[in-house]
Structure 1
């Protein structure tokens, strides 16, 4: 079927009369209309109209709430819209709207979603003025959970894959603001999720432009200077039934267990007992199971914590989780990774793994996910760290002659 193109005559006839605005055929519009997809072209043109109307409202000091809402909706359609807005210098306009609304809670609630939408996937847009605004907004409206959550979401967008923004905001005191937000609004799930996710982003090393990031330093600062472990664990205990909040908090906790003593601190704060109960009560929730396993794997880097997990019945629950979600490659990968850490340098733990059906579960995962590299690699780690299990699986492989990659890995 031939590709349809909108003609210049058709475009010239579209005057957007419903908005009382008329557009001439500028070079920008000609470039857009050269697209082979006329529907995408019209969508981008409508987005440019919204941006122009917003600029007009700002210039004439007329209400901007409706135009900001339309801008946010258009940005949510896809990255093409957000990228086009950035190319057309939408950031200064949106930031000025946010700055003007700083003292007005209602106006700020309309402006912040637009800034959040624009910076999603475009963290480089944030400048020094934007950083100052974000911190001022968090401090000015620290008692408002809705505004706090909206600002923290912008912070998270601006810190993903941008190490410089992370460093600048951390130096300006962001970590203290985020941990305070979690503590102050502990009963508000949206704020807890956003602030926890933002803390986790501060521990990322995902900016390829930076040879040496500050992920480890930021994680230590969160724990040592801002009591991050206690803040996260206390928040988790406040939402025992909210699986989405608990998943976020467990994911963040796993990013903070970067030192041997931090792993033990999590146990001492009751984090291990909480995670054991959480795993036992939430075996049906795949995402939560995956994040709890990730946290257990992280704290098991401490040899004493390995024993604590095993003594608390962790191996039985971990194997049960894999049997329950055997069809899910991500869960199987996390289970095998956790078992491999528990078995490392711990012969007694290997024995417990064997006694709790570890060999059968690992073999079943091997057969269920032959094409999943992550599962295959983590299973090979389990076999490498657990001698008895390796001997059993090797014997079965010799008889059944399954995937050759495992004969190499073993």
Structure 2
């Protein structure tokens, strides 16, 4: 079994080489590594690239945290030294995840939160440099470490949000909450339980596009279901609560932000993520959502991202059959065909487009006919031809074909004339795990296909006669 040492032991030997033997920092590190490796010690758990103070031989990260700890223990953060120390801490934590883990083990999160809390307790906040640099450092320590987030952290972040110190501080708070919500269901539940939505809703009226973008991103983070440690999440409950508060206002922002492709994409993506119930589909439609989707697809037809997010929202709204029947009105079927033909060479877009078509045509002969008349059959087959190595494109294409022809058999010859049978059979040979979907499309097209009986029941060995 390989021998290991602690980070402290490694750092002490580096310090000894720097102070006692007057080595340079680089020489001291190299010599220390050679010493331990010669002894058969495994250094896989050691951070070898820590910045070292050339005078003291100590890691800069450790020294900085110790100085901040001493200052916070004295309950006085007015020193000009505090922002500089926080900036050094931020720089050290940007190096790597192990650096941030080490900072957290040294108590950086608790120290920073106390410093910010002390700064907020001042009756008049004239110099916000401590709060600003504190938030920046806090975010660096928190990045990919949501477990260190706690109730005190949440209280401080909400307090700063409600103080309205400016967009710069709002952005830092939103980023902090985003770090806390990734891969951590309990944090999401705690954040929702303190009524964070009331602090976020006024941000929809901001004139700062970055604030609006980060707000949308945080709303989506709050409805994630990515924590494998938790058996049942409250993602759907959170989505319902957020949708009830934000969905209509987000829909009304679409025409306002029509010129900004980045913000428009964020809004479309967020609305789609929140549209988790039938009544929410209706709310978006009544707020003019379908018209706005059509307008933004026309306005930004050359943008892959806007077009892709518009299709995702369209698919989400098609979850309501009544809304689905209105999607292709006013020439949308022809526009849809044109947009797909523009961007069909892009694989992520192709996946989203074919998935959207399969949802719009599901159990809807009218929509199938409208799209067929617009020439979508050739578009679907051509898109599948462009991505033979994408299993998802082939599967989604099979879904779209099956849903279109299942109630409209007269469309089959048009699909077959574009060699769709050959494409589907080739995909069957390549992707065995989606054979069922590919066979279903071939079957509904009237092609010869060998169906496998999955279950034949249990046959009794003893014949029972009456």
Structure 1 stretches of 5 or more lacking a match? 1-5, 16-20
Deviation at 1:223, TM superposition (A): 2.5
Specify the alignment match of 1:131 in structure 2.
154
Find 2:61's aligned residue among 26, 29, 50: 50
Specify the alignment match of 1:18 in structure 2.
none
Specify the alignment match of 2:133 in structure 1.
110
Residue 64 of structure 1 aligns to a residue in which SS? helix
Question: Would you say 1:99 and 2:117 are equivalent positions?
Answer: yes
Cα distance in 2 for partners of 1:312, 1:343 equals: 17
Residue 345 of structure 1 aligns to a residue in which SS? coil
Specify the alignment match of 1:281 in structure 2.
299
Higher mean alpha-carbon deviation, 370-379 vs 396-405, is at: 396-405
TM-score norm. by structure 1 comes to: 0.85
Residue 41 of structure 1 aligns to a residue in which SS? coil
User: Does the Cα contact within 8 Å between 1:315 and 1:356 map onto a contact in 2?
Assistant: yes
Cα distance in 1 for partners of 2:216, 2:266 equals: 7
From the two aligned structures, give the one with the greater helix fraction.
1
- Cα deviations by residue, 1:38-75 (Å, 9 ceiling, x for unpaired): 9x722466894134224304414542212222322333
Higher mean alpha-carbon deviation, 144-153 vs 329-338, is at: 144-153
TM-score norm. by structure 2 comes to: 0.76
**Alpha-carbon RMSD:** 3.2
Deviation at 1:301, TM superposition (A): 0.9
Find 1:161's aligned residue among 183, 186, 194: 183
Deviation at 1:35, TM superposition (A): 4.6
Deviation at 1:181, TM superposition (A): 1.9
Find 1:403's aligned residue among 406, 427, 436: 427
- Cα deviations by residue, 1:285-336 (Å, 9 ceiling, x for unpaired): 2222221211111111111222222003333233222211222111011111
Deviation at 1:373, TM superposition (A): 2.1
Find 2:98's aligned residue among 77, 80, 104: 80
Specify the alignment match of 1:218 in structure 2.
238
Cα distance in 1 for partners of 2:331, 2:310 equals: 15
Cα distance in 2 for partners of 1:94, 1:307 equals: 55
Structure 2 stretches of 5 or more lacking a match? 1-9, 20-24, 72-76, 442-466
Query: How many residue pairs get matched?
Result: 390
- Cα deviations by residue, 1:82-118 (Å, 9 ceiling, x for unpaired): 2332233321122223223336433222111211222
Higher radius of gyration, 1 or 2:
2
- Cα deviations by residue, 1:104-150 (Å, 9 ceiling, x for unpaired): 43322211121122212111110111111111111122x62221121
Question: Would you say 1:193 and 2:213 are equivalent positions?
Answer: yes
Q: Cα gap change, 1:382/1:35 in structure 2, threshold over 3 Å: closer, same or farther?
A: same
Q: Cα gap change, 1:188/1:235 in structure 2, threshold over 3 Å: closer, same or farther?
A: farther
Cα distance in 2 for partners of 1:45, 1:291 equals: 47
Q: Cα gap change, 1:7/1:216 in structure 2, threshold over 3 Å: closer, same or farther?
A: closer
Taking the TM superposition and a 5 Å limit, the aligned residue runs for 1:10-409 are 12-14=16-18, 35=43, 41-43=48-50, 48-60=59-71, 62=79, 63-102=81-120, 104=125, 105-141=128-164, 144-183=166-205, 185=206, 187-224=207-244, 226=245, 228-387=246-405, 388=408, 392-394=414-416, 396-398=419-421, 402-404=426-428, 405=431, 407-408=438-439
Q: Cα gap change, 1:87/1:392 in structure 2, threshold over 3 Å: closer, same or farther?
A: farther
Q: Cα gap change, 1:261/1:10 in structure 2, threshold over 3 Å: closer, same or farther?
A: closer
Residue 276 of structure 2 aligns to a residue in which SS? coil
Higher relative contact order (CA 8 A, sep 6+): 1
Specify the alignment match of 2:459 in structure 1.
none
Runs (4+) of structure 1 exceeding 6 A deviation are 6-11, 28-34
User: Does the Cα contact within 8 Å between 1:58 and 1:64 map onto a contact in 2?
Assistant: no
Cα distance in 1 for partners of 2:281, 2:384 equals: 30
Cα distance in 1 for partners of 2:118, 2:412 equals: 65
User: Does the Cα contact within 8 Å between 1:51 and 1:90 map onto a contact in 2?
Assistant: no
User: Does the Cα contact within 8 Å between 1:44 and 1:81 map onto a contact in 2?
Assistant: no
Residue 226 of structure 2 aligns to a residue in which SS? coil
User: Does the Cα contact within 8 Å between 1:179 and 1:231 map onto a contact in 2?
Assistant: no
Residue 49 of structure 2 aligns to a residue in which SS? helix
